[in-house]
Structure 1
Amino acid sequence: MSLFHRRSAPGPSAEQLVPPRPGAGRGTARVTNETALRHSAVWACLRLRANMIGSMPVDLYRKVDGIQVEVTKPPVLVTPGGEKVDMQEWLYSSQFDLDRAGNAFGLITARDGLGFPARIDLVPLGEVSVKGSGGEIATYRIGGTEYDPAEVWHERQYTVAGFPLGLSPVAYAAWSIAEYLSIQDFALDWFGTGGMPAAMLKNTAKAISPQQAAEVKSRFKAATANRDLFVAGADWEYRMIQAEQAGSAWVEAKQFGIADVARFFDCPGDLIDAAVGGTSLTYANISQRNLQFLIMNLGPAVVRREAALSRLSSRPRFVKLNTDSLLRMDPATRSQTMRTQVEARILAPSEARALLDRQPFTEAQYAEFDRLFGSRNPPPAQAPAPAAPPGGTP
């Protein structure tokens, strides 16, 4: 089986993986992982998702007495591609491939003392093909060299039962992407290379030969080149060909294609400036919008990536992507949230200041608070007066 191919060599493309529509013309644009990036919505969706996941800090934990405790990360979770490729770049590149092709591949070029991967060099999708039977992959072929599965890092998403590779959104969105790219090509031909004439000069009285048509055309162009006058009898009719209607149809088709692609790539249309006309989305604050995006769109991908990255360390350690970096709140909401957590004894004041990258308060700072707001400690409660004994005062 093979889902990927070199650009310089023949191989299955997206339109070969998905049967063509009945009656589809030969002018349909050819869609591959590379040409799909010419579609602005494809690029925007891939960029947004990879940016978000690629910017999340990677933390390693283990459970101690039921408490999640952070532990030191191995080098592969800091610079997985060597000194020149840090974790953020590695996450971005691999997520970009996962979202467009359903798979990401890398060569394991070093291992640590426990046999876990110490370095993973990502490889281009176009250089990878696989061989196997049923749900098992026997060998990977990368750049003309065959590798055992133990030598290859393979992440996948959008899986189906019994198939060892992830499904490619580019392949299954090929019809929508091809329509958009074909519109682009036709529009360039129309406006750039004269795919349609600008006007028509017609003789309404008689048919004219090609030689006469060429002569009239030459005379007309020569007369009007410098905005001069062209003199004709009653048997000639000049009509401009208007492209507004065709242009409107192109715009509508392109707008539909953008929204359609956003659905294929699990990315909200409003976040890539492709909101459907006639609808509106209202959120109380940016935190609410980011939370919806994280839960509904990025959440499953984050869980899959955490499970895959956890395989780079020994059990019972596990990897967590710090999604709090995505849920950045506006200052007022952030302050109110921290205050609520401190008052509920969920967060200590020193921990709240650490989240704001601030040192704990010093005694001099406490003294400032005392001068402004009074003593930082509440006054001691007065001892109640002893009760009078029965029958009189003591």
Structure 2
Amino acid sequence: MGIWFRKPQPERRSLPRQEMSGPPSFASVDLSSAESSLQSIAVHSSVDLIASLGSELPVHVYAGEGAARTKKPTPGYLLDPAGDGNGLPDWAYQLLTSWLLRGNGYGDILTIAPSGYPTQVRLFHPDEIGGWIDQSGNPVWTVNGKRIETSRFWHRRVNPIPDRVQGLGPISMHATQIGLSLTTTRYGLQWFGDGAHPGGMLTNELTDLKPEQAKTAKDRFMAAVRGSREPVVLGRGWKYQNIQVAPEESQFLETQGYTEAQCCRIFGPGIAEILGYESGGSLTYANVESRSTHLLVYSLNKWLRRLERVLTDMLPRPWYARLDRDALLQATALDRWKVYQLQLSTKARAINEVRDDEDWGPVPWGDGPAEEPPPAPPAEPQDEPDDEPDEGEGN
């Protein structure tokens, strides 16, 4: 059952095991369901990384810009946009996942504020929705094949293209690459699980064995080692050798690693590196430290801005929503306090604001700009040692 389904669906069988008579083909991989692509570890990890980070960031509501900006209380309905009790993080995760897999987010507007903006939206599974532009230029929408009233229909798309009402989904655009990822996994399952190669060889260097003798020797050897960790004693001329097939010889792991990294890059630069796939560069402390910033700037920020626009559309004007990106960049305590010191010295923040970031209670004197510490008093001069000998000394 999909993560959005609200009613039982016909059973879907996925990833059927291929016949051993021929190699598997990525052309036979079915990606018609949004969840099918999540069978790829790289796709699932990339989608979950972006959706989890975006949905778990704190949301703040403001009005005004610059010096006139003021923080507003978050409306109660925004804390649970679906009204089902699962909260904003659950709703945001569903929306981001729908965007990442299908390029579109769809919903049913349950309540509307007197000013006309939606305050409660229940999301649809993206595969239940069909949409097109009719001859008069108006969008037409269907849910499970039935036309619906557009006044209650909610749609937000990504990757738009001209003359199309729906956005392009990353999965459909890169179906070949994702299909190759799933096919590589199938091949690995068959190679290591279906007994396509023997585990070892039992040979006799002194005599040629007839088929009946070979079968008897094999049965006796298997009976001796099955369920036992005791050493096996072999007679004269017998030798047992494990068959260690290097996966690289079949290009399995090498192909899988490259394919999985390519699937991660579908969702933006930096994803493959964050998830540990080889990218051709050397791994140093400096680039490990900057990966969170790299991920935020080049891959994650566009999804956060899209989510912010959706949440802003559910607020009264001129209020707007902002996700706290500082929560993503978890710095060390030393680096964090260096930033605090710079902010306080330039009077960019108040002491209570810094204390709030550290989950400390406010202090009565911490609402205003931090006062510069008084200069340190000059050091008192110390008496220099008298190197001159006293009179009469040495006589």
Q: Which amino acid aligns with 1:270?
A: E
Deviation for aligned residue 1:156: 1.6
Correspondence for 1:279: 282
2:331 match: 329
Matched with 1:139 is: 140
What are the residue-to-residue correspondences of 1:352-367 with 2, within 5 Å?
A: 352-361=354-363
Give distance in 2, aligned partners of 1:167 and 1:7.
Answer: 25
Within-5 A mapping of 1:1-394: 8=10, 25=25, 28-31=28-31, 32-63=33-64, 67-133=68-134, 138-196=139-197, 221-226=218-223, 243-244=245-246, 249-266=251-268, 267-277=270-280, 279-283=282-286, 286=289, 288-361=290-363
Mark the runs of 5 or more structure 2 residues left unpaired by the alignment.
13-23, 203-209, 225-231, 367-372, 378-395
Match of 2:187, as an amino acid?
F
- 1 CA distance for matches of 2:41 and 2:264? 10
Percentage of identical aligned residues: 22
What's the offset of the Cα at 1:259? 1.0
Letter in 2 for 1:254: Q
CA distance in 2, matches of 1:58, 1:248: 49
Number of corresponding residues? 340
How far apart in 1 are the matches of 2:66 and 2:51?
A: 35
TM-score, structure 2 as length reference: 0.72
Amino acid of the residue matched to residue 353 of structure 2? E
Q: 1:130–1:137: 8 Å Cα contact kept in structure 2?
A: no
Does the CA-based 8 Å contact 2:267-2:299 persist in structure 1?
Answer: no
How far 1:66 moved relative to its partner? 5.8
Residue type of the partner of 2:51? A
Contact kept, 8 Å, 1:116 with 1:313, in 2: the verdict is yes
Structure 1 residues 331 and 84: alpha-carbon distance in aligned structure 2, compared to 1, 3 A threshold? same
Q: For the structure 1 residues 229 and 70, does the alpha-carbon distance in structure 2 shift closer, same or farther, using more than 3 Å as the test?
A: closer
Q: Distance in 2 between matches of 1:359 and 1:306?
A: 29
| Aligned-partner Cα distance in 1 for 2:98–2:249 | 34
Contact preservation (8 Å) 2:247, 2:253: no
Provide closer, same or farther for how the CA distance between residues 220 and 177 of structure 1 changes in structure 2, counting only shifts above 3 A: farther
Q: Distance in 1 between matches of 2:248 and 2:291?
A: 37
Residue 303 of structure 1 aligns to a residue whose secondary structure is helix
Which amino acid in the other structure matches residue 311 of structure 1?
A: D
SS of 2:359 mapped into structure 1: coil
Provide the aligned C-alpha RMSD in A.
4.0
